[in-house]
Amino acid sequence: MNKLFLNLVIAFVSIGIGSFCLNIFNNNFDTLNTKRKTVSIETLVEDSTLNVRAIDLVKKPQEFLVYLTSRGEFGVLLPKYFIEHVDSLSDLPFYNHKINLSKDSLKLNFRAMAIRDEYGYGITIGNPAMVYSLDADLEKNKVVYQENHPKVFYDSMDFWNDQEGIAIGDPTDDCMSVIITRDGGNTWTKLSCEELPKAKEGEAAFAASDTNIAIVGDHTWVATGGKASRIIYSSDKGKTWEVFETPIIQGKETTGMYSVDFYDEKNGFAIGGDYTKPNATINNKIRTHDGGKTWQVVANGIGPGYRSCVQYIPNSKGKELVAIGFKGIDYSSDAGNSWQHLSDEGFYTIRFANDSVAYAAGKGRISKLTFRE
């Protein structure tokens, strides 16, 4: 039983929320889509004022969900067994512990976070951009990086390992904004544009689902969007970078890749489109079999239109995908060649706990999704 789990037990068996520390947190692809799925949706949190685009899972030794909101809240969804000694909560399957990091003079909007088993970090959008070290005790949350610039806007975070992590954002100069930590998140350094590919005019990224970054081992893929939508790639945890073109729809501020995921070092998928034309299905789904160097449009004119998030289902050999957005949930069993529409219920972002259970968040709610054949 690791340190995180012990901290959680101590915190929630003692009085109130306690002060636990969140130092929380190739393949034949041309087969027909013969596998069918259904999805059941269980609402865990429902609040009409809620807007959640940043979620993550702590999986060891027990699984629970953490999230950040557009109004500066940091939440932890704890399973019932943590708190079943509390009679008033005995009818609930979980406990939603939530604190608000915003202050009267500082309204925070979080759209990205990265969680390790021992700690967690979140980053705000807008000016100033701030990376918070997250803790369930309100007084222990602290800013570990701040960037002031009229154009600053960070979109996504992720970690390579327990010590090294990355966040990416829109350009403030003539390259994408990239900040990196090599000491477990205690300090962050912004890369200079001399170290990064030059951005094209109107190239940025979307803070839609905290999935602009995909990491497999030391390999990192960053999806940009807008008037230009490309893949910024590093093979060595952000030390060197190169850029690859994509055929996804682009040319307007609202077009491009909104989400990218890689199953392994070779096979990846990206989705997006134009959120102002959510039913358009032309050139909004692309796939690579060579590590992102080249991309091909798939399911052109069919399947889902604009979606804000795509994820591979674990243990699916790179064939099964789920895409979600405010127009619903879609599933592919053949690496994106064909799609099945599972639900009209809208979400912004999704994370898989295993090959049948995922958690999704969006406007007004956080839900548990169970997929069955």
The pLDDT of residue 116: 85
Cis peptide before 61 (omega within 30 of 0): yes
Closest Cα partner for 340 from 297, 296, 304? 304
Structure-token pair, residue 226: 């807008």
How much is the pTM?
Answer: 0.89
Q: Which residue has the tokens 């898989």?
A: 352
**pLDDT at position 138, please?**
87
Are 207 and 156 within 8 A, CB to CB?
yes
Residue 334 has pLDDT above 50, yes or no: yes
272, pLDDT greater than 70:
yes
- With beta carbons less than 8 A apart as the criterion, state whether 293 and 247 touch: no
pLDDT for position 59 = 78
* Residue boundaries of the structural domains of the chain: 3-25+35-372
**Does residue 80 carry a pLDDT above 80?**
no
Residue 92 pLDDT greater than 80, yes or no: no
Question: Greater confidence, 4 or 244?
Answer: 244
Per the CB < 8 A criterion, the answer to whether 322 and 309 are in contact is: no
| Cα radius of gyration (the chain) | 20
Percentage, residues of the chain above pLDDT 70: 87
Domain with residues 3-25+35-372, CATH architecture = 7 Propeller (2.130)
- pLDDT score of 144: 97
Torsion, Cα 114 167 215 363, to 10 degrees, reads: 60
pLDDT beyond 50 at 343: yes
Mean pLDDT score, 43-55: 94
